[in-house]
Amino acid sequence: MVSSYDFEAADWLSRQLVNLEEKAKWLAWYRGQRQHGLLGGEKSDDWTGPRRKKFDGDFDAAQRTLAQLAAAAEQARKAVDAATANAHVAAQAKRHH
């Protein structure tokens, strides 16, 4: 049982974790946009060769990393929100005693 719980800090963190999830997703979207616009598709002249192929693999792996980070942010946010809800219940129970 938590004896004290900083609800303000919890609220602030919950919102920043939402921001982290959105920012990670935005960065993945932005990279995709820039890759498509500047580096061209697979058949374009803009960048060709084995090094391009390697980059495409690394690019996709990096996109997965960002997706995992967004998922981790969402999980952490849910955990914080659940802890906050529990702390509220505990605080109320204490008040009624």
Partner 1 sequence: MADVSAVPENLFAYSDQCTGAATELQNWIRTVLGPAIDDYENGGGLCLPLSAAYASSQVASVAAVDKEVRLVGRAFQQAGAPTARPGMKQQYLAREQDMESALRTLEQTAQHQGQVDAGTALAGTLGEHPSPDDLARVSQALDAHSGDPYFTAGFFNHLDSARIAQLLGRGSTVQALVSAYASGALSRTASANVVRVLGWLQGEDVSPQHPHITAAEQTALLKALAADSTAAANFARSLSSGQIRNLFFGLGPVLNPDLRVNLLNTLTSGEWGTRDPELAHTILAHVSSAVFADGAPELPPDELDPLLAAFTHLYTAGADQSIPPPDASNPRGWADAYGKRVGGEIAPLLRAVKSMGPESNNPLFRSMIQGGYLNVLFMPTAVLAPESVVGAIGFTAVVGALQSFAGNYDPLAEVLKEYMPDGADKHNAGRLNEVITDSAGSLMISSLISRHLVTPNDGGPPVHFTGDQQADAALLKNVLAARGHYHVGNDEHAPTVDDMIDHFIAHEATTLDKNAW
Q: Which residues are at the interface with partner 1 (CB under 8 A)?
A: 2-6, 9-10, 12-13, 16-17, 19-20, 23-24, 27, 30-31, 34-35, 38-40, 45-52, 55, 58-59, 61-62, 65-66, 68-69, 72-73, 75-76, 79-80, 83, 87
Nearer to partner 1, 19 or 93 (CB): 19
Q: What is the closest distance, in whole angstroms, from the C-beta atom of residue 57 to partner 1 in the complex? A: 10
Q: Residue 42: helix, strand or coil by DSSP?
A: coil
Please, which residues have CB within 8 angstroms of residue 83's CB and are 6 or more apart in sequence? 2, 5, 10
Question: CB 21: neighbour CB atoms within 10 A?
Answer: 19
CB of 49 or CB of 95, closer to partner 1: 49
Q: Which two tokens stand for residue 24?
A: 């990670």
Termini Cα distance of the chain:
16
Quick one: 52 or 95, whose CB is closer to partner 1? 52
